[in-house]
Amino acid sequence: MENKITRESQMDMALSRARSENKPVLLDFFNPG
């Protein structure tokens, strides 16, 4: 099992993966502090 969340940083890539893997996107806005 993976020990961290696999994350994208660009919307285009996230939507491309969402279509190919048939999954919704979790858009996570964060403040690095």
Partner 1 sequence: MDTVSYPDKKVIEFINNSLISLRVRYDAQPMATDFNLKWTPTLIILDKEGKEHHRTVGFIPAEELIPSLLLGIAKVHFDLNEFKDALSRLEKILSDFPKSGSAPEAIYLKGVCLYKDTKNPKGLKEAYEQLQAKYPEGEWTKRAYPYRLL
Instruction: List interacting residues with partner 1 (CB under 8 A).
Output: 1-11, 14-15, 17-19, 21-32
Distance of CA 6 to the CA centre of its chain: 7
Run of H or E including 20:
helix 11-21
Q: Nearest distance from residue 16's CB to partner 1, in Å?
A: 9
Q: Nearest distance from residue 4's CB to partner 1, in Å?
A: 6
Q: Nearest distance from residue 20's CB to partner 1, in Å?
A: 9
The rounded distance, in Å, linking the Cα atoms of 11 and 25 is 9
